Amino acid sequence: MIPRYTLPEIAHIWSDENKFSIWLEIELLAAEALAELGWFPKDVPQKMRELAKFDVQRINEIEQTTKHDVIAFLTNVEESIGEYAKYLHFGMTSSDVLDTCLAVQCQQAGNLILEKLKTLKDVLKRRAIEFRYTPCIGRSHGVHAEPTTFGLKFALWFDECNRNINRLEYAINEVSYGKVSGAVGTFEHIPPFVEEYVCSKLNLKPSPISTQVVQRDRHAFFISILGIIASMLEKIATEIRHLQRTEVLEAEEYFAKGQKGSSAMPHKRNPITSENICGQSRLIRSFIFPAIENNVLWHERDISHSSVERIILPDATISLYYILTKSIELVDKLVVYPDNMKKNLDLTKGLIYSQKVLLELMKKGMKRQEAYKIVQSASMEVWEQQKDFKTVLIEKEEIKNFLTKEEIEQLFTYEEIFKNVDYIFKRLRID
């Protein structure tokens, strides 16, 4: 991921320094386990731990010759441990190190993302409560439908965020499996205790069965959940982009002092954060397809998945972490315009109360299809002639036999939308 969208705390997870540190820890833990079993002298692991070190530049230099990153790493470590080199990587294959390390990195990145999700949930909850009773127009197909409250928008996202927290916790668990089972996963040259010991120390679980690799359905699931989370962030950002349109202007991204919106037009205040979130969420979701394809490998393994993962796992987690951070700021500082919401509620001259009129006519005995036809006919007059809906209804002869002028006027209020808002909030446990 380019530096522009990379935050340091998650960049570190995918750095060579962190990767090689985990590799070294895996190797040392494996030596400890073998010493526990009596395969090595008891003092060997501690001696190795005291002496072992690596140098990223030196590893890269060696790899220019070996064309193999794990061998280059081992060669460099052997330079520091001298006679103890014979105990390094004993009975292991490269994927024992690579896949176990990848599980640790995915777990580390996943937990960082999880903390951001929990923060977003708290911000959404706070703003849902803040605007619980703020009326605004609800839209379907982009067209005014009926009134709702602005707080219910945040409540909806809060609920989805909660589900994504649960999904991500499950996905982190799914990907937190290591393997130290040897060349094709049979433990022929290294006992299962080593795998159990290494995984336990790294807060992983041993893969119940592996070939030369941990199976990639785990990683595909992890990436898929990241994509679903990204789609939630895009949903929020898309709504804000619409609400910030000049013709709507019910909410707006915070515009900082000194910020510039356009190199040409000094008046512009553009939803750049929301647009950035939408763009990167597309990128994250695009990684799902290659992640799923990585599950299909030849026989006990090939490395067609390797080059893909070196790109998609760092980029997906780094990008999602970035747009989560931006989403928290976006929601937290969102500027809201209740007066414009009220203005937009009145924009269609009362048409948003058409269902209330329909249902009231039915309560008074009019057949549904007849009532629908009459109310729709009145609505079309409003659309086409810019009349006032209430006035059109009062003048309709077909309606006078069922509803008085006073009864019609009483229907033109959005106060009833509040009566079950508390019920919805209670059901969501937002209080």
Annotated catalytic sites, by residue? 141, 262
Full DSSP string of 10-49 = HHHHTSHHHHHHHHHHHHHHHHHHHHHTTSS-TTHHHHHH
How many Cβ atoms from other residues are within 10 Å of residue 17's Cβ?
Answer: 10
Beta bridge partners of 148: 136
Closest by CA position to 90, among listed 182, 198, 179, 212: 182
Q: Do residues 193 and 220 lie in contact, with contact meaning Cβ atoms separated by under 8 Å?
A: no
Residue 397 exposed, middle or buried by CB count within 10 Å (0-12, 13-18, 19+): exposed
DSSP code of residue 211: S
Query: 195 is written with which tokens?
Result: 């795998």
CB burial of residue 313 (10 Å; 0-12, 13-18, 19+): buried
Task: Provide φ and ψ at 177, rounded to 5°.
Answer: -125, 130
- Per-residue b/e over 277-292, b at no fewer than 16 CB within 10 Å? bbebbebbbebbeebb
Strand partners, 144: 139
> What phi and psi, each to the nearest 5 degrees, are found at residue 143?
-110, 145
The rounded distance, in Å, linking the Cα atoms of 47 and 36 is: 15
Residue 271, C-beta contacts closer than 8 angstroms, at least 6 positions apart: 237, 240, 241, 244, 252, 253
Residue 205 host element (H or E): strand 205-206
Would you say how long the chain is, in residues?
431
The DSSP bridge partners found for residue 335 are 252
**In the 8-state DSSP scheme, what is residue 364?**
T
Other Cβ atoms closer than 10 A to 346 = 10
Beta bridge partner(s), residue 252 = 335
- What's the rounded Cα separation, in Å, for the pair 38 and 195? 16
How would you classify the pairing of strands 177-178 and 205-206?
Answer: parallel
